[in-house]
Amino acid sequence: MGDVTQDLVKLYAESDALGIGELVRGKQVKATEVIETAIHIIESLNPKLNAVVIETFDLARSLSSAPHKGLFAGVPYLLKNLGTMWKDTALTFGTSYLKDFVCPVDSEIVRKMKASGLVPIGRSNTPEYGWCITSEPRLYGPTINPWNPDITAGGSSGGSAAAVAARIVPIADASDGGGSIRVPASCCGVVGLKPSRGRLSYGPHEADMWFGSIYFLCNTRTVRDTAAYLDAVSGNLPGDPYYAPRPEKGWLAGLSDRPRKLNIGYTLRAPWGAPFAPEVTTAVENAVKLFETLGHTVEEYDIKADIEAAWWCYNDIIAVETFTEFTQHAKFVGRSPQEKDLEPFNWSMLEYARILSAAEYSASIGAVRRAGQSIAAELAAFDVFVSPTLTQPPRPVGYWSMTDGNRERYLDRWSDAAYMFSHNISGLPAMSVPLFLADGDTPIGIQIVGRHGDEAALLRLAAQAEEAEPWIGRKPAICAI
């Protein structure tokens, strides 16, 4: 183990990101020691988990030797292997087609990560090009759920969530176009907040992504880490197409406010597909009882918008946007992707985009916009709306395999995640919290949704729940301690 002691591993693995930052700034532990501890844990656990697919150990060691400022000073961090540009680091999007790509610039969110003191030690596993709610790319193989190797770790931020759950890192990069922050948070028993539309900038290399339906934030083990990270990376650049007003008080500071009484709606009905699994129904009912015990009012309500119809229109948008992204990447590679380069589902999306007319694409954009508007209008009556993150427990490894090249058949199975993409298109903030554990090894997340711009209500409610039903001490089968 070299200079990494068992005591240091224990201290590291039991601390959240803010706790590690406090230790480093207080000089109770050196940032270099923290990074070596994280590297040691990766080398010990990653062969079992396959959560980290690109290592940036040299960069981490270099950064840990520099002066340390910010709330997350010296805190080890995993970048997601999808989208997030940290200059001069490899980024493959989970596909051999981009195996030689190196980020030419920093994205705006990375500039803010750097200012907060975060230190990247690698990139986390994702499905190829991200449009999947498991993390099993052909290029790298599946990420293993640290709770149970037979069930998915979720996706597309599955490597990040698994690494956080196993305490490889206390916080990791995550992004969400249809549940990709929240689904793996649910499957791995960690925290995942998808912020409001316009909360973070796509800039400077992108102006818009999927018409404001892609979101960036993180996976963590504690609510306060999520609040602090939101403080650190939120904000806009001039000309950004979407905007969400900041509260007068920061989100971390706001956690200390006395929670007000909330009007909470909840549902026990799936928008389409199979009804909630029994253990999922139990999880929602328990959460609602907890919120009521905490002094909030609760009311059952089923969303009336046609979420299933919106799903198919949303995938028209995604097919075209994915085609456009491949067109951009072809400039780097020097050729367009061929069928052999991609997993069958992704190839089917490109083939579908080629036959979709401009009129059909425009109609789908309009339908998705109207559906998002309807969902937001319906839920405006509630301070918070509660649903399961997924309508079913985590599926077995292989269930979401992208080897299925039948586009319609593959997408028809996504009813599990009906309450995921619906809030990508609504623009409302939505958060998965790990309030339920079925059979001792199957995490089931509860999703809480707020009004646009009101992440503060979600964070305060989640903090209340975290205090009342602590999850921080839970340890999966594969864990650093």
CA distance 35 to 42: 11
CB 134 within 8 A of CB 154: yes
Tell me whether residue 480 is in a domain: no
CA distance 50 to 125: 7
Tell me whether residue 10 is in a domain: yes
The residues, ordered by sequence, that sit 6+ positions from 457 with a Cβ below 8 Å of its Cβ are 262, 383, 384, 450, 451
Burial class (CB in 10 A: 0-12, 13-18, 19+), 115: middle
Tell me whether residue 183 is in a domain: yes
Q: Count the neighbouring beta carbons within 10 Å of the beta carbon of residue 383.
A: 21
The residues, ordered by sequence, that sit 6+ positions from 264 with a Cβ below 8 Å of its Cβ are 288, 291, 296, 297, 298, 299, 382, 383, 384, 385, 386
Instruction: Please report, in tens digits, the pLDDT of each residue of the chain (481 residues total).
Output: 457 899 999 999 999 999 999 999 999 999 999 999 999 999 999 999 999 999 999 999 999 998 878 999 999 999 999 999 999 999 999 999 999 999 999 999 999 999 999 999 999 999 999 999 999 999 999 999 999 999 999 999 999 999 999 999 999 999 999 999 999 999 999 999 999 999 999 999 899 999 999 999 999 999 999 999 999 999 999 999 999 999 999 999 999 998 899 999 999 999 999 999 999 999 999 999 999 999 999 999 999 999 999 999 999 999 999 999 999 999 999 999 999 999 999 999 999 999 999 999 999 999 999 999 999 999 999 999 999 999 999 999 999 999 999 999 999 999 999 999 999 999 999 999 999 999 999 999 999 999 999 999 999 999 999 999 999 999 999 999 9
Looking at the 3D structure of the chain, how many domains does it have? 1
CA distance 381 to 324: 38
Give the pLDDT of residue 356. Answer: 97
Give the pLDDT of residue 1. Answer: 43
Q: What is the pTM of this model?
A: 0.98
Tell me whether residue 1 is in a domain: no
- Which residues are registered as beta bridge partners of 438? 442
Q: Which domain holds residue 421?
A: 6-468
The residues, ordered by sequence, that sit 6+ positions from 11 with a Cβ below 8 Å of its Cβ are 23, 29
Tell me whether residue 475 is in a domain: no
Tell me whether residue 479 is in a domain: no
Q: Count the neighbouring beta carbons within 10 Å of the beta carbon of residue 68.
A: 20
Residue that has been written with the tokens 């912020």 in this structure:
195
Tell me whether residue 334 is in a domain: yes
Which CATH number do you get for residue 316? 3.90.1300.10
Tell me whether residue 474 is in a domain: no
CA distance 426 to 424: 6
Give the pLDDT of residue 69. Answer: 84
For the annotated catalytic residues, the residue numbers are: 80, 156, 180
